[in-house]
Structure 1
Amino acid sequence: MPESGSVELVWLFGPFAVYLVMLGVYYVWEGKREEQLRQRYEEAEHGQ
């Protein structure tokens, strides 16, 4: 059984770690979406 101090550290830094992981996933997701929009825009420009 871990000491109560280490359990408190998990509760303190756990949500922050989850937040950082979710932030990284968001940036990767948005980067891919932005790249698709850019390709679609360039195709529309060259089509004119």
Structure 2
Amino acid sequence: MIKMASYQILALLGSSFLVASGVMRFIQSSSLKELFVGILYFIANIIIFCL
């Protein structure tokens, strides 16, 4: 149970880092693809977090 919780926290931290870097790349390159990929990572990690 504790291992699962720490794994979920790591997944959440990783996803927020990916979203933040995706947003930064989006601001720099104005590429919608980067923003879309960041949002997809975020949604995927929310699903992992809920399982």
Range class of TM-score, shorter chain: 0.5 to 0.7
Instruction: Return the TM-score normalized by structure 2.
Output: 0.56
Count of matched residue pairs: 30
Verify: 1:33 aligned to 2:1, yes or no: no
Instruction: Return the TM-score normalized by structure 1.
Output: 0.59
RMSD: 0.6
Q: Quick one: percent identity of the two aligned structures?
A: 7
Query: Greater RCO between the two (CA within 8 Å, min separation 6)?
Result: 2
Larger Rg: 1
Any runs of at least 4 consecutive aligned residues in structure 1 with deviations exceeding 6 A, and if so which? none
5+ residue gaps, structure 1, are: 1-12, 43-48
